[in-house]
Each structure stands twice: as C-alpha cells, then as structure tokens.
Amino acid sequence: MNDLAVIVLAAGKGVRMRSDLPKVFHEILGEPMLTYVLETVKQLNPQRTYLVVGHKRDLLMDYYKEWPLSFVAQDEQLGTGHAVMQVKPYLDDFTGMVLVLAGDVPLLSAKTLKQLIDFHLKNRSAATDLTAVLADAANYGRIVRQANGEILKIVEKKDATAEELKIKEINTGTFCFDKEALFLALKEVKPENAQKEYYLTDTIEILRKKGLPVYACRAEDPLETLGINTKEELVAVEKILLGRQA
C-alpha cells in the first residue's frame, strides 16, 4: 500500500512481566511476541514501517536489523502519544494513512487490519479505532460512542466514571489515522491524567471537537485484540496459538 505508513510501538519495559527484557521481546512458542506483529504488518505491504524502541533498544535493533523497517528512539517513556510524536519528523514528506499498532498484541490478523483500513477509507474518517467487545473489559480503555459508530471519546480505566466502567466495548490500541489529522491532534495532547502521560487515545476527543469524523470499527474476533501485560496473559495467548495449530 503506497499510501500506508505503519508505526509499531515497542518501547515499554513491561513492569508487570517481572523481567528486565523489553516487554515485546518475551517469547511465544519460541518467537518474540513482536515478531508476530511485524509478520502481520509485512502482509499489508506498507510503504514504510517504523518501530518505536526505548527500553533496552539495542536488543530489538540488533534482532530486527534485517527487517524492512526503520527504528525510532523514544528516550523517555511518556506514553503512547509521545511515542508516536517521535516519528513525526520521518513522516513530514508522507501523505496518506498511518496505522498505529502495539507490539504486544500478537494475535491480530492482516484480514482484521485490512477491514479496519477499508472501514476508515469508506467513512472518510480522520481517525478510526479498532475496538472489541469483551465480557470482562478489565483494565482496557472504554469506548464512549454513538449508535452509528462515531466515537465521542475513549476513557482510560483509571480516569473512568462508575457508569463508563460498565461499558464492554474497549480500545484495542490499534488505530488508523489520516496523517495530517494525527499530528494536528497530537500537538494538543496534554498529560492531564492519572498516569501523567501523553495518551494517543486523547487524539480522538480532540479531533471530534474540531468537527472531524472519528469512528470505531469493531473487530469480529475479540481474541485477536488481546494485549499482553503479564506472564499469565502470555501463557493464555500461547494456548490460543497452540489451539490454532492443532
């Protein structure tokens, strides 16, 4: 896709993994979880792929040095919005769509990502969030939306009201943006939240307030959107992959 750039976020420490390895470097069936994400990205044939690295970046830069991607450093881990901002200088000459993925969501398929891109284009959206409906929304950000699929805002669990915590539709951390809209919104993101971080999710409400269309595209298979934050979740994803191979 000539008009597609992909940003994969892989800078985090993964404190809850109880290990000093970069979170995305923990293995699933003998491969770092990040490899699953990058293999899926390759199937989209993007014009450019950027891997945002931070904690122990040399490990990742050495391991993926032969891959068709560029490394971008995030020296301080100040949130997902801050991570994406580090890529801005590399995209100054690019016009098109920007797909943002988390490096710790290894089950996502190219089919689902293509559906997200198609939905984004069809709705002429400034930003489209891939969402999922989970029986237990747990620690995920909640989607506050209208019936037609337009999003009002995404609320992180730590900042959600009791009413918002009842919402079962969650943000998966996977987004498709119009490039100009993305960086227009990121300029206005502030770390005014419980984590004191720059949230990429805040771009949704910012774009909406500017009168630009923002949408939720629901994934058909919620299992694909599972993120990994703990060793227990790693084992659960391993079991899903083993089941698929059986």
Tell which residue, 172, 201, 175, has the closest CA to residue 120.
175
Give the three-class secondary structure for 103.
Answer: coil
Q: Among this protein's residues, is 208 annotated catalytic? A: no
For 124-140, b where at least 16 C-beta lie within 10 A, e where not — what string?
ebbbbbbbbebeebeeb
Q: How far apart are CA 150 and CA 112, in angstroms?
A: 19
Candidates 16, 48, 124, 244; catalytic one: 16
> Measured at the alpha carbon of residue 188, what is the angle toward residues 57 and 206, in degrees to the nearest 5?
110
Inter-residue contact 106 to 223 (CB < 8 Å): no
What are the angstrom distances between the C-alpha of 16 and each of 41, 122, 154?
Answer: 26, 39, 23
Q: How far apart are CA 214 and CA 120, in angstroms?
A: 9
Give the amino acid at 7: I
Helix axes 33-43, 110-122, angle to 10 degrees: 50
Give the three-class secondary structure for 211.
Answer: coil
Inter-residue contact 149 to 239 (CB < 8 Å): no
Catalytic residues: 16
